[in-house]
Structure 1
Amino acid sequence: MLLDFFVNINWCCHQNINFKKSANHQKLRLIEEEIIMKKIIKTVFLILLVGVLFISLAGCGAIGSEKSSGETNKQKPTIKIGYLPITHAVPLFIEKEQAKYKNFNLELVKFGSWPELVDALNTGHIDGASMLVTLAMKAKAQGIDLKAVALGHKDGNVLITAKDINSVKELKGKNFAIPHKFSTHNILLYKMLKQNGLKYEDVHPIELPPAEMPAALSEGRISGYVVAEPFGAVSVAIDKGKVLYQDNQIWDNSIDCTLVLRGEFIKKENKIAKKFVGYYIKSGKIAEQKDKQTFEMSSKYMKVKEDVLDLSFKWITYDNLAINKEDYEELAKNLIEMGLLENPPSFAEFVDHSLIKKTK
C-alpha cells in the first residue's frame, strides 16, 4: 500500500511539471521532483513515527489496565461496623487503632442513636455493630439474620440520680431516662424498682439519647437515668448526680452491648469474620489494662475528659467477652416477663461462638 502511495505521488508529479526538452528545463524538473520526494518521505516518516508511538502507548495503557485490574482484584474486603461513642465499644476502637489485621480493612461507622444504627444493620448497609443485644434479639425475632458473636463489655451501666435523691422510693412519680425501651437498661430500672417495693408504673420512663442524659439531669428534666458509660460518670464528675446503684448490685452478669454480625457476612466471609473477631477479643484484653494508651485510642471516638473516662473504666471490664448461655437465658426471661419480647431467639439460634473458640 505504501508503494502504491509513492507511485501515485510520482505520477502526479509527472502530470504537473511542464516538460521541456531543453537541458536546463530537464535539470529543473529533476530538482523539483527531488524536493517533492524529500517532502513526501519526510511526511511518511512522521506518519509512521506517530503510528509507532500510538501503538506503543496503547500497549502501555493495556499493561497499566491489566495491573490496575489485578490490584483491584486483590483489594482486601472492607468490614463496616456501626457503633455509638460509648465505652461499651472500646474493644472495637482499639482494634481499629492498632490495625494489626492484614486480611481486611475495618471501617467504623458512627451513629447518633440506636434506631439509626439498627436500621442500617437490618438493611445491610453495615456488616455488623457494637450494639444493644436486646435490639439485635428483637431484629432476629423479626426474621433478620443476625448473630451475636461476643460481648462488648461486662458491667458499666450505673443507675444515676439527682443528688437530692437518697432512695429508690423517692423516685416515685419522677422522670427516669433510659436509652431505649428494648434495652438492658430498661430491665435494670424494672428490677431496681421491683427489688425496692415499687412497680414499673410508679415512675415515668423517658427514652433519651445517652449523650443528652447528663444535661437533662442537671436541668431537672429528669431525676435519674441508667445508661452506658461514660455518660453516668459525666454527671458524677461535674457533681450534678450520684451513683444510686451499680448494675451488678441489681443484676449480676447482665448482658448489655454485644458485637453483632450479619449472618450473610459470616457465611460469605467466614475466614475474615474469624480474623476480625479474633483481633476484637485480643483488643478487649488490651482495653482491660485501662492505661494511657487505652485512653488515647478511645478518646478519638469519644469526646470525653480523661478523669471522666478513668471513672468509667473503674465500673467496666473487658477481660472475658464470650457470651454465657445462662446469662443470655436470664436476659430472655426478663424480656418475656416485662412483655417486651414474646418469643426471644434461643441461645443456639442467636449466639455464634464459633468465631472466638480459638481466641478465648
Structure 2
Amino acid sequence: MTLGLISLVFVVSACGFTATEDKEEIPTIKIGYLPITHAIPLYLQDEIVTQGEQDYKIELVKFPSWPDLMDALNTGRIDGASVLVAVAMKAKELGIDLKAVALGHRDGNVIIAGNDIHNVQDLKGKSFAIPHKLSTHNVLLYEMLTREGMQYDDVNVIEMTPAEMPAALAENRIAGYVVAEPFGAQSVVMDNGHVLYQSEELWQNSVDCAIVLRQEFMEENSDLAQAFMNSYVEAGNQAQQKDEHVYEVSSKFMKVDETVMDLSLKWIAYDNLRINEQDYSKLSDYLIEMGLSKKPPAYEDFVDNSLIDEAM
C-alpha cells in the first residue's frame, strides 16, 4: 500500500469544510492544485474571480504531490481540488464524502520514451515512471502494454513526482514515463524523448483529472458552489482559446518555457468538461481489472453534474 493510500485510511473520520470569510465577510473557497497544464482553467478562474465583481474569492493552494493534496482534501483543510480522479475515487471508496463535479481537461496525456526506445517492446525490463498507481496514466501504460502483447510486469513501474520525470529520462534513470503536461512536452522540446502514444490513441475520452469538492462544503454552501462552477466553466472556455493570455496567466502559477507550453496546449482540450457516465464506468472497469480497486464508487454516488449542467 502506497503512502498516499495509507494516509487515506487514517483520515476517513476527518470532517469540516474550510470556506472562510474575510473582514468584509466575503467567502473564500480553498482549492488545491499541482502546478500542471491540466489545471489551467483554475488559473484563469482565479483571474476571473479576482478581477470581476464576484461575491466570493478563490484561494488556490499549491501542493508538491498528490498524497499531500489528498491529505488536505480528506481532512477538510481545503474545500476542493483539481486531482487525479482515480485517487479521489479511492478516497470515496474508503469513506471520504467527495463529489466530482467537472473534468480538469480532456486528452493531453502522452506516453514519452527515451530516444533509444524505438517501440513499446524496447521497454521490456526497463524502468518506466508514473505519477501514481491510482491514475489514468497508469491505466494508459497498462493498455499500451496489453495492446502490444506485453505484461504489466514486463516493465519496472515506479512512482515519481511529475516534475522529476524529464530529468530522470535525460539522465537515463528511466526509459520512459506518462504524466500530466507540461512534462511530456518538455522532453520532446529538449529532444530528450519522443511520443510513443497519445492518450486518445489508447483510450478515447479518458477521464484523468477532475474538480472534486467536499460534499459537506456543497451542502452548506450550495449557492457558492454554483457560483464557483459558473466561473470555472467560463475559465475552461477561455483556456480553450490557447492564446497569449492563457500563457501569461498560467505563468503566474507554473514556470514553463513558451515553446513547451505551446506544444503542451496542442495536446489538451478544455471545453466540454462534463463527466460522462460511459467514460467514468470505463475507468472503474480498468481499476478493477488492474486490481487497484475492489468496488469503485458508482457514478451516481460520486459524480454530481448538477452544477456544471446549470452553468452550461
TM-score strictly above 0.5: yes
Q: Are 2:61 and 1:109 equivalent residues in the alignment?
A: yes
Give the superposition deviation at 1:74: 4.8
Q: Report what 1:90 is aligned to.
A: 40
Cα deviation 1:69-100 (Å, max 9, x = unaligned):
xx967511110000000011000000002223
Q: Are 2:57 and 1:76 equivalent residues in the alignment?
A: no
Give the superposition deviation at 1:356: 1.2
Separation in structure 1 between the aligned mates of residue 257 and residue 93 of structure 2, nearest angstrom: 39
Answer whether contact 1:101 1:279 (CA < 8 A) is retained. no
Q: Are 2:151 and 1:199 equivalent residues in the alignment?
A: yes
From 256, 274, 280, give the equivalent of 1:304: 256
Alignment of 1:136-175 (within 5 A): 136-175=88-127
If the length of structure 1 is used for normalisation, what is the TM-score? 0.79
AA aligned opposite 1:113? S
Q: What's the RMSD between the two structures over aligned residues?
A: 1.1
Separation in structure 2 between the aligned mates of residue 125 and residue 246 of structure 1, nearest angstrom: 35
Separation in structure 1 between the aligned mates of residue 309 and residue 111 of structure 2, nearest angstrom: 34
| Higher RCO (C-alpha 8 Å, min separation 6) | 2
Q: How many corresponding residue pairs? A: 290
Q: Which has the higher helix share?
A: 1
Separation in structure 2 between the aligned mates of residue 92 and residue 101 of structure 1, nearest angstrom: 18
From 333, 336, 339, give the equivalent of 2:285: 333
Q: Are 2:287 and 1:287 equivalent residues in the alignment?
A: no
Q: Report what 1:250 is aligned to.
A: 202
Alignment of 1:115-130 (within 5 A): 115-130=67-82
Task: Point out where structure 2 has 5 or more consecutive residues left out of the alignment.
Answer: 1-20
Moved over 6 A (4+): none
From 166, 191, 197, give the equivalent of 1:239: 191
The worse-fitting range, judged by mean Cα deviation, of 282-291 and 71-80 is: 71-80
Separation in structure 2 between the aligned mates of residue 176 and residue 257 of structure 1, nearest angstrom: 21
Give the superposition deviation at 1:357: 1.5
Answer whether contact 1:178 1:226 (CA < 8 A) is retained. yes
AA aligned opposite 1:111? F
Q: Report what 2:15 is aligned to.
A: none
Separation in structure 1 between the aligned mates of residue 228 and residue 39 of structure 2, nearest angstrom: 14
State which structure, 1 or 2, has the greater radius of gyration over its C-alpha atoms. Answer: 1
Alignment of 1:57-68 (within 5 A): none
Q: Secondary structure of the equivalent of 1:352?
A: coil
Change (3 A) 1:72 1:173: closer
Q: Are 2:302 and 1:354 equivalent residues in the alignment?
A: no
Separation in structure 2 between the aligned mates of residue 302 and residue 104 of structure 1, nearest angstrom: 24
Change (3 A) 1:191 1:72: closer
Separation in structure 1 between the aligned mates of residue 283 and residue 233 of structure 2, nearest angstrom: 22
Q: Secondary structure of the equivalent of 2:158?
A: strand
Answer whether contact 1:101 1:276 (CA < 8 A) is retained. no
AA aligned opposite 2:26? K
Separation in structure 2 between the aligned mates of residue 314 and residue 105 of structure 1, nearest angstrom: 31
Answer whether contact 2:48 2:231 (CA < 8 A) is retained. no
From 195, 214, 229, give the equivalent of 2:166: 214
Q: Secondary structure of the equivalent of 1:314?
A: helix
AA aligned opposite 1:337? E
Separation in structure 2 between the aligned mates of residue 198 and residue 250 of structure 1, nearest angstrom: 15
Give the superposition deviation at 1:358: 2.0
Cα deviation 1:177-202 (Å, max 9, x = unaligned):
00001111001000000000000000
Q: Report what 2:3 is aligned to.
A: none
Give the superposition deviation at 1:359: 2.0
Q: Report what 2:215 is aligned to.
A: 263
Q: Report what 1:313 is aligned to.
A: 265
Give the superposition deviation at 1:164: 1.3
Task: Point out where structure 1 has 5 or more consecutive residues left out of the alignment.
Answer: 1-70
Percent sequence identity over aligned pairs: 60
Separation in structure 2 between the aligned mates of residue 356 and residue 248 of structure 1, nearest angstrom: 24
Give the superposition deviation at 1:281: 0.8
If the length of structure 2 is used for normalisation, what is the TM-score? 0.91
Q: Secondary structure of the equivalent of 2:306?
A: coil
AA aligned opposite 2:29? I
Separation in structure 1 between the aligned mates of residue 212 and residue 223 of structure 2, nearest angstrom: 16
